[in-house]
Structure 1
Amino acid sequence: MTDPVLRLTDVSLSLMGNAGPVDILRGITMDVERGETLGLTGPSGSGKSSLLMLMGGLERATGGTVTALGQDLGPLDEDALARFRRKHMGVVFQSFHLIPTMTALENVATPLELAGAPDAFERAAEELASVGLDHRTDHYPAQMSGGEQQRTALARAAVTRPEILLADEPTGNLDGTTGAAIMDLLFGLRDRHGATLVLVTHAEDLAERCDRVLGLHDGALA
């Protein structure tokens, strides 16, 4: 049996609030297997997004260990974490996080350019075409609809062919029809690139499409 793509062992996360430390996550132990699609569900404030951020090295655990593709993320500094994400992960957020002064093509090409890929713009154009945006390559985020911006964000997350895709409420800012189309694209990218997908969602219909669903409540697995 192959090693899990993601392994969390007794992970905790505490952040300092006005009244002292606040426990965000408590004693999380879990594995995510290669090629699996895992849904994380739970009420607002349960720790879903924080757990996803720990998996991506975007937040640091205050206890326990987070291992991705056999790499313990704890000892890595910010630069090393950024390089690891760039090489192995794609992250999609609810609020798109596109660079407003860059076109769709430039946004999607950015991770490839940072990695030194000589064909960054050619690959970016292909990825935009794969999400139906070949007619929007020269448009800036402000010139695109919310659905088009999220499709651009999906293309940017997938263009490096990541082994791990992390998605935090990717349809949260979209209407139902557009959100459904985005999820079809996200699952299609997973299938096309063979990525492991971890998805935070409130939507039951999206959770039902996952291979496995874990619920969180008050910072612990329910």
Structure 2
Amino acid sequence: MTDTILSIANTNLSLDGNAGRVDILHDVSLDVVAGETLGLIGPSGSGKSSLLMLMGGLEQATSGTITALGHDLTAMNEDQLARFRRDNMGVVFQSFHLIPTMTALENVATPLELAGVKDAFDRAEAELQAVGLADRADHYPNQMSGGEQQRVALARASAPRPRILLADEPTGNLDATNGDAIIDLLFGLREKHGATLIMVTHSGELAKRCDRIIRLRDGRVEPELAQAAE
């Protein structure tokens, strides 16, 4: 019997913009099984990243429910969501989001320290070694290439051993060679730690590496195109 680790039910998202209220997602329902890899694809503006942000509690739904590991994210306040993410989720963004005044080692160790991990720096050092950056531990983000910064971001996301790993266009700012290396690392770390991976991508070829593909268009899931990756 499979276990649902994340469930989205009848969820809508509307945001206020300069031109008024904009409807982003429409009545989205989706279940994610523990341990699977899920690719979210679709044209620009289809709502992929917005859906991922809802899954991570980084954006609040206008209506509907989002349940992760048995917890209703839509019922949590910002502090509760931050603690839940700290304890259960890792997030990798397209733009790295490293703290510029911290070294690579400090960037990876900080979320571990916040979670009360006693050997935070030892574990951070091991994670940097796992992504091939042991020799860059004392470097700051502006001293590293884009590919190296994304490796640090991967190490930071995986170090707390999250149950759920969210990746939003993780190769979007990288060339093909660095992008391929990052994806290999991402899937390798996911398999090593047994996390559930949900990844937004524009690349159909990249999405095919996932167990399942969900396509969005105009803020809606296209159910007839929800399919297992070949």
TM over 0.5: yes
2:226 match: none
AA in 1 matched with 2:66 = V
Q: What does 1:32-71 correspond to in 2, within 5 Å?
A: 32-71=32-71
User: Are 1:220 and 2:220 an aligned pair?
Assistant: yes
Deviation at 1:19, TM superposition (A): 3.2
Structure 2-normalised TM-score? Answer: 0.95
2:30 is paired with a residue whose SS is strand
1:117 maps to which residue? 117
Residues 17-41 of structure 1, C-alpha deviation per residue, up to 9 Å, x if partnerless?
Answer: 2332110000100100000000000
User: What secondary structure does 1:5 align onto?
Assistant: strand
Q: Tell me the equivalent position of 1:30.
A: 30
Q: In structure 2, what is the equivalent of residue 192 of structure 1? A: 192
What do the CA deviations read for 1:43-94 (whole angstroms, capped 9, x no partner)?
1100000000000000000010000011000111111100000000000000
CA deviations over 1:182-206 (Å, ceiling 9, x no partner)? 0000000110000000000011221
Secondary structure at the aligned position of 1:132 is classed as coil
1:24, 1:123 → 2: CA distance?
A: 39
**Equivalents in 2 of 1:125, 1:99: separation in Å?**
17
Letter paired with 2:55: M
Show structure 1 runs of 4+ deviating over 6 A. none
Structure 1 stretches of 5 or more lacking a match?
Answer: none
Which residue matches 2:94?
A: 94
CA RMSD, Structure 1 to Structure 2 (Å): 0.7
Query: What's the CA shift for 1:2?
Result: 4.2
AA aligned opposite 1:8? I
Amino acid of the structure 2 residue aligned with 1:131: V
What is the CA–CA distance in structure 2 between the aligned matches of 1:29 and 1:166, rounded to whole Å?
18
* Secondary structure of 1:135's aligned partner: helix
C-alpha separation in 1, matches of 2:208 and 2:219: 22
TM-score (norm 1): 0.99
